[in-house]
Chains A and B, each alone.
Chain A
């Protein structure tokens, strides 16, 4: 019976965590930590702040567990709460000087791998600089690989709003990137 119970916990720790099993909750954290941390670090661009925020999200999850019902419910709850906390953190940090895009140093080497890394770094910085809603949509779509219908459910928005705002966000990123790349030529 004990082995079966631990197998159940390993397969679905949500029910066990809701029942108060601390090991199951720890497993829940391990399964979702990359998602929560990545949403935070891609929003805030500061690993220390992102980790602190991610820890607090899981502490809040522990308190909210009795209200949650399934693994999917937990995952969507984590996404929603993390993004909201990132928005709050961004607003608190508004006074901090943000790195302007034209101040980003260019790579010394033009090796393709570094160029790709540079491009990706540009994309990450531009994503973090998007307006709050656009940033949330881009992260849920391209980090979490969610469909617009799923994003609409998590954020409580109409599907058509998600699609149009995602399209607009992509346009903003493309424009910023093209301006940046033209400046290099």
Chain B
């Protein structure tokens, strides 16, 4: 059998067939009852755009963002406290150093004066 004859026979043998009468009715009978979401208040309409309740997902996202922000703020506050503490310690150290320098200076002046006398 040549290719043309085979292809012709294939196309005839495999042509589309209809299923038994009432097929579409049988399919529709198996479909679930549609649940109509009745939009009520403005926020319900907002939350159910496109038939999908995306508000819960948005709520989760907002909470996650809030927690992340709070953690960031806490870290910033801790850092600020550390900086302040370091600054204070530096100031105290400078004061101590200055006081010591003044004391040493006074001793030197007194010693110089005593040698002159």
Q: Which A residues are closer than 8 A to B by beta carbons?
A: 20, 22, 25-26, 29-30, 33-35, 37-38, 41-42, 50-51, 54-55, 58-59, 62, 66, 119-121, 123-124, 127, 138-139, 142-143, 145, 170, 173-174, 177-178, 181
Q: How large is the interface on B (under 10, 10 to 19, 20 to 34, 35 or more residues)?
A: 20 to 34
A37 to B1, CA, bound (A): 29
Cβ of B19 and Cβ of A37 under 8 Å apart?
A: yes
Cβ of B28 and Cβ of A29 under 8 Å apart?
A: yes
Interface flags, B4-37, vs A, CB<8A=1, else 0: 0011011111111111100110111011001000
- The main secondary structure of chain A at its interface with chain B is helix
Cβ of A54 and Cβ of B23 under 8 Å apart?
A: yes
Q: How many A-B contacts are there with CB distance less than 8 Å?
A: 89
A39 to chain B, nearest CB (A): 9
Cβ of B34 and Cβ of A120 under 8 Å apart?
A: no
Closest to B15 in A: A143
On chain B, the residues within 8 Å of A29 by CB distance are 23-24, 27-28
On chain B, the residues within 8 Å of A20 by CB distance are 34, 51
Sampled A-B contacts (19; CB under 8 Å): A22-B28, A29-B24, A33-B24, A34-B16, A35-B16, A38-B16, A41-B17, A42-B14, A51-B23, A55-B30, A58-B27, A59-B27, A119-B13, A142-B7, A143-B16, A145-B11, A174-B3, A178-B1, A181-B1
Cβ of B19 and Cβ of A174 under 8 Å apart?
A: no
- The main secondary structure of chain B at its interface with chain A is helix
B18 to chain A, nearest CB (A): 5
- Residue of A25, A123, A138, A181 ringed by the most chain B CB atoms within 10 A: A123
On chain A, the residues within 8 Å of B14 by CB distance are 38, 42, 123-124, 127, 138-139, 142-143
On chain B, the residues within 8 Å of A138 by CB distance are 10, 14
A57 to chain B, nearest CB (A): 9
Known A26-B24, A51-B20; contact A142-B10, beta-carbon cutoff 8 A: yes
Kindly list 20 other residue pairs between chains A and B, CB separation below 8 angstroms, not including A25-B31, A26-B27, A37-B16: A22-B28, A25-B28, A26-B28, A30-B24, A34-B18, A38-B14, A51-B19, A51-B23, A55-B27, A119-B9, A121-B13, A123-B13, A127-B14, A138-B14, A139-B14, A142-B14, A143-B14, A174-B1, A174-B6, A181-B1
